[in-house]
Amino acid sequence: MLRPRDLVVVGASAGGVEALSAFAGGLPGDLPASVLVVLHLPPGAVSALPAILARSGPLPVREAEDGEPMERSCIYTAPPDRHLLVEDGVMRLSRGPTENGHRPAIDALFRSAARAFGSAVTGVVLSGSLDDGVNGLELIKTRGGRAVVQDPGEAVFPSMPENALARVEADFVLPAKEMGGVLADYVREHVDPAEADPMPIIDEVELHVARSGDGAEAGIPEVVDVSEPSGLACPDCDGVLFSLDDRGNRYRCRVGHAWTAQALFERQTLDIEHALWAALRALEEQRDLAARMARDATDRGFPLVADRYQRHREESAHAVSVLRRFLYSGVGVAGAGVQDTSA
């Protein structure tokens, strides 16, 4: 049965408020489609995004509510600390595991939209760091949907658009404010969602995990049943990460935390640097304690004990000097990490 492409899903991260404001400003006021938006937000935040986007363009903007039907000519935003998903024509909010450290996650929305709407969905990737949303956009294209990506040259943070373009054949690459006209044309296209290719089992499993605790259907395999251990550990829970593709780009742990290779590498970099700073602090404390113990041994007339603690002090002081130079050099762990050069 033919239907219009009347669902638009949008993902943004760093620099996303500016991009989303331009995007909303370019949408026609009579756009016959529902627009669902995920912007990465800290868990405890109170989102001002609906108010910002309502001032930026002609469409009404509301924060999504669980079980709410989607209306056309309306923008819905994901609330903080909830995945925004699409299921049976309504929006669902979930506290499923984080993806790349984020909840809401762009991939979770895109994945659910691709499953529920097939070829009748258009995915939009805007400014952001790393590569959240890339796998979901790839799935949207695989199932016959459209892909629109912000011009990286316009994005405040171009990494997310660049990664999307490296993996997905986008239908259009445009400045955010020029996307409205393209989307208005897409909505006039009629497609048969039933003709979409079946969802890969891995994506079904990931969608099931994102919906965990919210009445997700039984019978879906667990991550451990459809993937192999990667030999890597999850930064969130220290559990084994399982590789979800043969390219080593996607990982999930047993309890559901999801990581792309880029996000995992950056998180490992931060964790290593944190550990090195903790080691520096411990070495400085050991140096100072050894000096006190050497003085105390000298005062009590134990020169051999004093000499031993003095050697400990000198060894710790040398280690402090080496580690401090490494951390301050800018070419060590932090310099080797995945950095957004536009920052």
- Catalytic sites, residue numbers: 13, 40, 132
Helix, strand, or coil (residue 164): helix
Tell me the residue type at 112. S
Q: What is the largest CA-CA distance in the chain?
A: 95
**Six token digits for residue 223:** 């991550």
What was the pLDDT predicted at 313?
A: 96
Cα–Cα distance, 64 to 42 (Å, whole number)? 17
Cα–Cα distance, 72 to 69 (Å, whole number)? 10
Residues of the chain with pLDDT under 50: 214-216, 336-343
Inter-residue contact 26 to 176 (CB < 8 Å) = yes
Helix, strand, or coil (residue 235): coil
What was the pLDDT predicted at 337?
A: 41
Cα–Cα distance, 208 to 222 (Å, whole number)? 9
What was the pLDDT predicted at 332?
A: 55
